[in-house]
Copies of this chain bind each other. A is one copy, B any other.
Amino acid sequence: MNKAEILIIDDEPQIRKLLRISLESNDYKVNQASSGKEGLIIAANHPPELILLDIGLPDKSGHEILKELREWYNKPIIILSVQDNENDIIGALDNGATDYITKPFRTGELMARIRSAIRRTQNIDLNETIIICNDLQIDLVSRVVKKDDEILKLTSTEYNLLTLFARNEGKVLTHQYILKEIWGVGYQTETQYLRVFVAQLRKKIEENPNNPLHIITESGVGYRFS
């Protein structure tokens, strides 16, 4: 139910369709953009867990899109390309691409590279893919959260927020940073969203939501998870 989202930026409809089918059958939620510009807008308003970027786009070169994304987006970007040109590959990797795959690609390999990339940004240690904090248990691979061995029903925003907190245990995260990571770059003033979702999360994960032990408010700054 809590699927990780992937954004495809590619102008060829057949490729998009092929990718979407493969990704959805691997339990990802897929968003699509048919041009670089559209891709930038979707990514900014709804940051995905990973971006698949075609390098040969009609409006802007994929290299430019990559650079613009990397100004604020720090999750994996995998480049797809028909070109097997070494300088192209080197340039993309040096501009922050996570991986570079040449078409035609093998779907199984692509899926494995996607898993690998996501695993690394979430710094999931192959051995311990489960974060445990007292009564809470967060499985980052199957995306399931348990409290006292009871499965919690979380919406995807709630889940994303909780894992952002859990992956930064002990650190104070500012409102702005959280909003940027969960809602996108244009939402950094919408602190009210955050209050609403923190309240919802606390109702689900805290023994006593009036006296929260997991999500601590740092007034005027942000929140801290412990």
Chain A residues with CB under 8 Å of chain B are: 70-71, 74, 86-87, 89-90, 93-99, 106, 108-109, 111-113, 115-116, 120, 123-127, 141-144, 155-156, 170-172, 218-221, 224
Pair A109/B94 contact, Cβ less than 8 Å? no
Q: Shortest CB–CB separation between residue A129 and chain B, in angstroms?
A: 11
Known pairs A70-B127, A93-B109 / 10 extra A-B pairs, C-beta < 8 Å:
A89-B109, A93-B112, A96-B116, A98-B120, A99-B99, A120-B120, A143-B172, A144-B171, A155-B220, A156-B221
CA distance A124 to B98 in the complex (A): 13
* Bound form: Cα–Cα A40–B99 in Å: 27
CB of B74 within 8 A of CB of A94, answer: no
CA distance A120 to B76 in the complex (A): 10
> What separation, in Å, do the CA atoms of A108 and B87 have in the docked complex?
8
User: Assuming the A-B contacts A126-B95, A126-B96, A172-B143, are A220 and B156 also in contact, with contact meaning beta carbons closer than 8 angstroms in the complex?
Assistant: yes
* A172 neighbours in B (Cβ, 8 Å): 142-144
A142 neighbours in B (Cβ, 8 Å) = 170-172, 224
List 28 contacting pairs A-B, 8 Å CB cutoff, sorted by A. A70-B127, A71-B127, A74-B125, A86-B106, A86-B108, A90-B111, A90-B112, A93-B109, A93-B116, A94-B112, A95-B126, A96-B116, A96-B126, A97-B116, A123-B124, A141-B171, A142-B171, A143-B171, A143-B172, A143-B218, A143-B221, A144-B171, A144-B172, A144-B224, A155-B220, A156-B218, A156-B219, A156-B221
Q: Whole-angstrom distance from the CB of A59 to the nearest CB of chain B? A: 23
| Residue in B closest to A92 when the chains form the complex, CB atoms | B112
Contact in complex: A116, B98 (CB < 8 Å)? yes
User: Out of B90, B112, B123, which one reaches A108, CB within 8 Å?
Assistant: B90
The answer to whether A94 and B71 touch (CB under 8 A), given A156-B221, A221-B143, is: no
Q: Quote the shortest CB–CB distance from A26 to chain B (angstroms).
A: 12
- Of the candidates B90, B116, B125, the one whose C-beta lies within 8 Å of that of A94 is B116
Question: In whole Å, how far is A126's beta carbon from the nearest beta carbon of chain B?
Answer: 5
A164 CB to nearest chain B CB (Å): 15
Residues in B whose Cβ lies below 8 Å from that of A155: 219-220
